[in-house]
Each structure stands twice: as C-alpha cells, then as structure tokens.
C-alpha cells in the first residue's frame, strides 16, 4: 500500500499533480510504481467518475473494483471499438465451439462403448444359448433373463448400464449455442465478433492479470452476473440420458 502520507505520492496524485493527502481515496489502489494503471483508468473513465464509483462501494470491495476498472480501461485502449465486449464475444464463440466438439466426442465415444457392449453381450448370449439347451425354460425370450443366473453376467449388466448412463450419452445432442446470438439484450452479436488476433492476446493478458491481481469470488460472480442479466451463455449439458436397449441377438 502506498505511503502517501509520508513519502511518495500515489500514482493518481502524481498524474494529477496534486498533493497526496493522507485520506486520498486513490492511494491504496494506485501505488506510485504503477503509473500506467491510473493513466489508463483516467483516460477511459476519468478521475472524478472513478472517485464517485469508489465512494459508492464498501472499502473491502474497492480493490477489486479498481482492478476490474484497470482491466477494462486497458482493454478499451487496446481495442477502442470493442474493448472488453470483444473478449466476451470471443469467449462465447469458443464456448460454443467447445460444446460442439464435446458433443461430437461424446457421440463418438458412445459408439465405441455400444460396440463394446454388443461385443461382450454377444459372447455372453452365445454362451448362454449353448447352456440353455440343458435347461427346460426358454431364457432368451427375456432380454436379460439369461444373464441373471451368473454373477459375471450381472456384473456385465451393471457395467453396460453404468457406462451408458454415467457418460450421459446423447446422440441427438446438437450442442448449445445456436441461439446465443439472441442473448445480447439489444446488441447484435455479429457486431462484436473481433476480427483480428489481438483478441487472443487480450484473453492471455486477462488470464495473467487475473492470476495475480484480480481476486474474484466465484459464487458471488455467478450470482451477480446471473441476476444482472449480462448476456453471456451458460453452457448447456452436452448430452441427455439416452440409454440404449441392447439386443442380445
């Protein structure tokens, strides 16, 4: 924290060329060794707007507020047209892409698992059919009845049912996101899709900044942003429950 009362003025007062008072509202958050931080914030938001904003918050919230303002200001200076909104748009696009990839991958996985189920089931059915000739009952009429007499076969049933339901296979899942263009309240999504690689660098910058400087409370973030109605998309579940009936024949 800057010792504005004794030695060096905070970055804000240095920038504004004024005496840094002991009760300076900027001093705790704009240390003198980070002059660019205040310069950016001042350029985008203005010192008086930042003062008003900080005064409306509890003291324990101010550090996070300043850091998020600094990030927004930095993004706006790097991309004067879209700022942070470009990053949001890019992340939403990536999220949709990941959802589609995940749906396809899970669909592919389900094919392997069903194949394995059919293969093991077929072997068991063949063995049971051979054994059935020694029994009076026609156990193949019931889909899984012939498996109930063997502990090993019961394990196979559990294995098949758990893999098909646990993974959440949904071959009809088309992924979420096609309607996400409508999520912006009054803004066309396509207007904010960034057109250059600079956005990639912006996300890396945020990641680095977030790792060190910005502490976000995940639960409060989710609560605040969901209630605020900020238009970003919650990823839908990649698949539903689609159990397959395995025909032993």
Chain residues 75-94 in contact with other proteins, contact rule CB under 8 A: 76, 80-88, 91-92, 94
164, 109, 144: which is closest to 247 by C-alpha? 144
Q: Is residue 113 at the binding interface for other proteins, with CB under 8 A as the rule?
A: yes
Chain residues 43-62 in contact with other proteins, contact rule CB under 8 A: 43-46, 48-49, 53, 56-57, 61
Using CB under 8 A, pick the residue from 35, 64, 129, 132 that binds other proteins.
64
1 alpha carbon, distance to own chain's centre: 33
Q: Is residue 154 at the binding interface for other proteins, with CB under 8 A as the rule?
A: no
Q: What is the CA radius of gyration of the chain?
A: 30
- Mask: binding to other proteins, 185-224, rule CB under 8 A, as x and -? --x---xx-------xx-xx-xx--x---x-x-x--xx-x
CB of 196 to other proteins, least distance (A): 13
CB of 195 to other proteins, least distance (A): 11
**All residues at 6 or more sequence positions from 51 whose CB lies less than 8 Å from its CB, including other chains:** 25, 26
- Mask: binding to other proteins, 168-187, rule CB under 8 A, as x and -? ----------------x--x
Q: Is residue 106 at the binding interface for other proteins, with CB under 8 A as the rule?
A: yes
222, 201, 210, 180: which is closest to 93 by C-alpha? 180
Q: Which stretch binds other proteins (CB under 8 A): 134-142, 152-160, 231-239, 240-248?
A: 231-239
Assess contact for 214 and 64: CB atoms under 8 A: yes
- The Cα 39–Cα 148 span in angstroms is 75
Assess contact for 34 and 11: CB atoms under 8 A: yes
| Tokens encoding 64 | 């996070």
Q: Is residue 109 at the binding interface for other proteins, with CB under 8 A as the rule?
A: yes
Q: Is residue 4 at the binding interface for other proteins, with CB under 8 A as the rule?
A: no
Using CB under 8 A, pick the residue from 16, 25, 39, 98 that binds other proteins.
98
Q: Please say which residue, 9 or 42, places its beta carbon nearer to other proteins.
A: 42
What torsion do the CA atoms of 203, 207, 212, 213 make, to the nearest 10 degrees? 40
Chain residues 23-42 in contact with other proteins, contact rule CB under 8 A: none
- The Cα 35–Cα 166 span in angstroms is 53
232, 237, 236, 238: which is closest to 92 by C-alpha? 232
Using CB under 8 A, pick the residue from 115, 126, 127, 131 that binds other proteins.
115
Q: Is residue 225 at the binding interface for other proteins, with CB under 8 A as the rule?
A: yes
7, 9, 5, 16: which is closest to 41 by C-alpha? 16
Q: Is residue 131 at the binding interface for other proteins, with CB under 8 A as the rule?
A: no
Q: Please say which residue, 161 or 205, places its beta carbon nearer to other proteins.
A: 205
């Amino acid at each position: 924290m800057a010792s504005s009362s004794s030695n060096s003025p905070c970055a804000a007062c240095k920038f504004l060329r004024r005496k840094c008072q002991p009760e300076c509202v900027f001093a705790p958050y704009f240390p003198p060794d980070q002059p660019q931080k205040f310069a950016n914030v001042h350029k985008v938001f203005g010192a008086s707007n930042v003062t008003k904003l900080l005064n409306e918050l509890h003291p324990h919230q101010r550090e996070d507020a300043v850091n998020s303002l600094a990030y927004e200001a930095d993004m706006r200076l790097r991309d004067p047209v879209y700022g942070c909104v470009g990053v949001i748009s890019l992340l939403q696009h990536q999220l949709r892409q990941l959802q589609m990839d995940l749906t396809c991958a899970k669909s592919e996985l389900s094919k392997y698992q069903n194949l394995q189920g059919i293969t093991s089931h077929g072997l068991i059915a063949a063995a049971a059919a051979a054994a059935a000739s020694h029994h009076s009952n026609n156990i193949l009429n019931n889909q899984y009845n012939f498996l109930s007499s063997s502990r090993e076969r019961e394990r196979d049933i559990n294995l098949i049912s758990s893999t098909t339901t646990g993974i959440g296979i949904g071959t009809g899942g088309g992924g979420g996101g096609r309607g996400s263009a409508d999520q912006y309240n009054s803004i066309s999504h396509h207007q904010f899709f960034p057109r250059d690689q600079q956005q990639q660098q912006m996300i890396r910058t945020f990641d680095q900044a977030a790792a060190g400087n910005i502490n976000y409370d995940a639960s409060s973030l989710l609560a605040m942003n969901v209630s605020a109605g900020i238009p970003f998309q919650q990823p839908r579940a990649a698949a539903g429950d689609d159990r397959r009936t395995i025909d032993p024949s």
